[in-house]
Amino acid sequence: MKKLFLCGLAFAAVLLCNCAGEIQNAPQSNENQVVKAIMARRSIRKYKDTPVEHEKLETIAKCGINAPSGMNKQPWEIRVVENQELINQVNDVYKKLNAEAVAKDPSFKNMFRNAPNIICVAGEQNSGLDLGLLGENMMLAAQSLGLGTCCLGGPVHFLTNTEEARFFIEKLGFSEGYSLMYILAVGYPDESPDAKPRDEAKVKFIN
Ligand SMILES: Cc1cc2nc3c(=O)[nH]c(=O)nc-3n(C[C@H](O)[C@H](O)[C@H](O)COP(=O)(O)O)c2cc1C
How confident is the model over 142-182, as pLDDT tens digits?
Answer: 999 999 999 999 999 999 999 999 999 999 999 999 999 99
Query: Judging by beta carbons within 10 Å of its beta carbon (0-12, 13-18, 19+), is residue 192 exposed, middle or buried?
Result: exposed
Answer yes or no: is the C-beta of 151 below 6 A from any ligand 1 atom: yes
Sign of CA dihedral 42, 46, 47, 48: negative
The pick from 139, 151, 186 for probing ligand 1's pocket by mutation, whose C-beta has the most ligand atoms within 8 angstroms, reads 151
Phi-psi region of 146 (alpha: psi -120 to 50; beta: other; left: phi over 0): left
Q: How far is Cα 70 from Cα 24, in angstroms, rounded to an integer?
A: 35
Average pLDDT over residues 92-97: 98
Rounded distance between C-alpha atoms, residue 22 and residue 33, angstroms: 11
What CA–CA distance (Å, rounded) separates 177 from 34? 34
Residue type, 113: R
Using CA positions, which residue lies closest to atom 12 of ligand 1?
Answer: 152
Q: Does residue 132's CB lie within 6 angstroms of at least one atom of ligand 1?
A: no
Ligand 1 atom 19, closest CA:
43
Whole-number Å distance, alpha carbon 155 to ligand 1 midpoint, is: 12
Mean pLDDT of 34-42: 97
45 Cα nearest atom in ligand 1: 11
**Strands 76-81 and 117-123, sheet pairing:** antiparallel
Q: How far apart are CA 168 and CA 160, in angstroms?
A: 9
Contact 116, 56 (CB under 8 A): no
Q: Is 168 a pocket residue for ligand 1 (Cβ < 6 Å)? A: no
d(CA 207, CA 95): 55
Ligand 1 atom nearest to CA at 44: 26
- Burial class for 20, CB neighbours closer than 10 Å (0-12, 13-18, 19+): exposed
Whether 7 shows a pLDDT value over 90: the answer reads no
Buried b (16+ CB within 10 A) or exposed e, 151-168: bbeebbebbeeeeebeeb
Per residue in 40-62, pLDDT (tens digit) is 999 999 999 999 999 999 999 99
Q: What is the C-alpha separation between 134 and 77, in angstroms, rounded?
A: 10
Ligand 1 neighbour 197 (Cβ under 6 A): no
pLDDT tier for residue 29 given thresholds of 50, 70 and 90: confident
Measure 26 CA to ligand 1 centroid, in angstroms.
31
Model-level pTM?
Answer: 0.88
Distance CA 104, CA 100 (A): 6
State residue 165 phi and psi, 5-degree precision. -100, 5
- Total count of residues recorded for the chain: 207
Is any atom of ligand 1 closer than 6 Å to the C-beta of 152?
A: yes
Query: Is 5 in a helix, a strand, or coil?
Result: helix
Ligand 1 centre to CA of 3 (Å) is 58
